[in-house]
Structure 1
Amino acid sequence: MPPTPTSPPSPQRRRFLGVMIASGFALAVQPISAATIHTDSEGLLTGSVAIPTKDGSLPAYFARPNRTGPLPVVLVVQEVFGVHEHIQDLCRRLAKAGYLAVAPELYFRQGDPRKYPDISQLINQVVSKVPDEQVLADLDATLAWAGVSGGDVKRAAITGFCWGGRIVWLYSAHNPNLRAAAAWYGRLVGDKTPLTPRNPIDLVASLQVPVLGLYGGQDSSIPVDSIEKMQGLLKAAGNPSQVIVYPEAGHGFNADYRPSYNEAAAQDGWAKMLAWFAEHGAR
């Protein structure tokens, strides 16, 4: 069972204290909306862990029901702002639904995203330096950690938001052992670089996991034609993945701490995600 915040720290955990994840929101998202949702930890075990990788200890936030497992697993992939309070809250919501949810801090080698007050600075100085290959390997390590920490990796899913939505598509082509995936407003096309050599739209033939894509029709950062092209490619390939578009929603429609929040789309998308996971055996 993973350590809890109230447990005496083990020697291993004491060595990892320098990479633990703090609470609170990233500087770049201030001020926080009055509509922000806070999910309590009643009935849950929550806290930070450090996940071993080949080149360092990967910080992560986890939340799980306070009961014996094994539990179904959801990997939660951060927004561009890292594993700040919103992502931690989403982990607690998933835990309330019965999952072991774990969100690794996938920029930890490049910098701390919560310290940057300007999003363009954050992208230029941190996010643009994060290789896809590194991210996929860290998610592999996170899933392995879940498997020895009370999780049932045979009932594992992944979800991600914004920056993490793109990663969900990539990981669904990388790891055939997941049951299901849900990608929230992750870009489907974009500039290719040596660190980010593939776009989700290039990977339809390689998808090994059914993906539920959740997008906003008013999202100026994700062209509607790219969504329509992805829908067409999935259909032509006979792929079971689905892409849903909420016509009145914009980018970040699940981010209740921001003005972009669209309650109706967020609630419907969350319900559809949980149903998708259950339908495909991640429950």
Structure 2
Amino acid sequence: MNTVAHPEIDSLLPAAHMDRRTFVTTVAAAGFALAVQPVQAQTVITTDAEGLEAGDATIAVAGGSLPLYFARPAASAANGAVPVVLVVQEIFGVHEHIRDVCRRLAKAGYLAIAPELYFRVGDPSKYESIPALVENVVSRIPDAQVMADLDACAGWAPEKGGDPDRLAITGFCWGGRIVWLYAAHNPRLKTGVAWYGRLDGSPTNMTPRHPLDVAARLHAPVLGLYGGQDQGIPLKDVEAMRAALAKAGNHSEIVVYPDAPHAFHADYRPSYRPAEAEDGWRRLLQWLPAHLG
């Protein structure tokens, strides 16, 4: 596994029972890149719900009721069933930025669904530090459970006018890794867009495989968007993923923004880079219809 030296780690260490090395290992195993910051400010982009149906709902899943946020064109604006995009949260959960992403997708004609994938173990907004959030919540979420919850969302989509035959997924940071895994999991998926999702790591009981392990088994092409200055995802991992995809004959693509850090799309954090974020969003809006029909 690649652990990452980062100047902020020492200030983020949790309780004394977890030392620096253990913390780095735990975070990396959870698929979380270290070069992030928690919510610090309001979002730069605010998308209204005019012309949309948007709100909260729940789905019955193993272990309880899965909360989610959804947005779609209003029934009067939609012409039949609309394509579906599953939106996978960052480490910080389904906060306002993720909800806004759903509304942006709905404005573009999609049913966007963002499930609260941590709901069984805790509310990420209640934690004031990344170490506490990782130790108490993120590290307790098994990949298999995430795959099942996303399947449940895909199954629920037709109830909100979603077309099950035009299914896509996008995700950010923690969710970016999930995009690659879900593309290898669900044969009905048509495409995905992974924003700076971790690509490699040591296997654990919770995270037995990483994107590099499943590159040859993708059911759908994925657009990967990465930052060249990402301190948590080495460029050698990005190049290894490119090579693995090419060897498999997969039609996925990876774009690297040379000057961008991790989380360059997150417009509520200092890592936000407007030019790269706008270009990535433009590419997403071209990629999705090209593969969904």
- Name the residue aligned to 2:60: 52
- Name the residue aligned to 1:72: 83
- Name the residue aligned to 2:47: 39
The RMSD of aligned alpha carbons is 1.2
- 1: CA distance, partners of 2:284 / 2:51: 22
- Name the residue aligned to 1:215: 226
1:259 and 2:270 equivalent? yes
- 2: CA distance, partners of 1:144 / 1:40: 27
Gaps of 5+ in 2: 1-36
- Name the residue aligned to 2:38: 29
Shift of 1:191: 2.7
- Name the residue aligned to 1:123: 134
TM value normalised by structure 2: 0.84
- Name the residue aligned to 2:284: 273
- 2: CA distance, partners of 1:225 / 1:189: 10
Shift of 1:153: 1.1
Report if the CA contact (8 A) 2:83-2:292 is conserved. Answer: no
1:1-283 to structure 2, matched below 5 A, reads 29-32=38-41, 36-67=44-75, 68=78, 69-281=80-292
3-state SS in 2 of match to 1:179: strand
- 2: CA distance, partners of 1:30 / 1:56: 28
- 1: CA distance, partners of 2:40 / 2:132: 18
- 2: CA distance, partners of 1:273 / 1:92: 15
| Superimposed CA distance per residue, residues 138-171 of structure 1 (whole angstroms, 9 cap, x where no aligned partner) | 0000000002221001111000000000000000
- 2: CA distance, partners of 1:191 / 1:129: 16
- Name the residue aligned to 2:5: none
Runs of 4+ in structure 1 deviating by more than 4 angstroms, as ranges, are none
- 1: CA distance, partners of 2:39 / 2:100: 17
- 2: CA distance, partners of 1:152 / 1:30: 34
Shift of 1:204: 1.1
Gaps of 5+ in 1: 1-27
- 2: CA distance, partners of 1:98 / 1:262: 25
Report if the CA contact (8 A) 2:39-2:268 is conserved. Answer: no
- 2: CA distance, partners of 1:31 / 1:174: 34
TM value normalised by structure 1: 0.87
- 2: CA distance, partners of 1:140 / 1:31: 32
3-state SS in 1 of match to 2:193: strand
Aligned-residue identity in percent: 60
Report if the CA contact (8 A) 2:173-2:197 is conserved. Answer: yes
3-state SS in 1 of match to 2:231: coil
| Superimposed CA distance per residue, residues 208-254 of structure 1 (whole angstroms, 9 cap, x where no aligned partner) | 11000000000000011000110111112211011110001010000
Relative to structure 1, the CA distance from residue 76 to residue 217 in structure 2 (aligned partners, 3 Å threshold; closer, same or farther) is same
Give the letter aligned to residue 157 of structure 2: A
3-state SS in 1 of match to 2:292: coil
Give the letter aligned to residue 254 of structure 2: V
- 2: CA distance, partners of 1:252 / 1:210: 22
Give the letter aligned to residue 139 of structure 2: S
3-state SS in 2 of match to 1:270: helix
Relative to structure 1, the CA distance from residue 107 to residue 267 in structure 2 (aligned partners, 3 Å threshold; closer, same or farther) is same
Shift of 1:52: 1.4
| Superimposed CA distance per residue, residues 172-203 of structure 1 (whole angstroms, 9 cap, x where no aligned partner) | 00001111100000000123210100010010
Give the letter aligned to residue 136 of structure 2: Q
Aligned residues: 254
Report if the CA contact (8 A) 2:44-2:267 is conserved. Answer: yes
Instruction: Tell me which of the two structures has the higher relative contact order, counting C-alpha pairs closer than 8 angstroms and 6 or more residues apart.
Output: 2
Shift of 1:276: 0.9
Shift of 1:55: 2.6
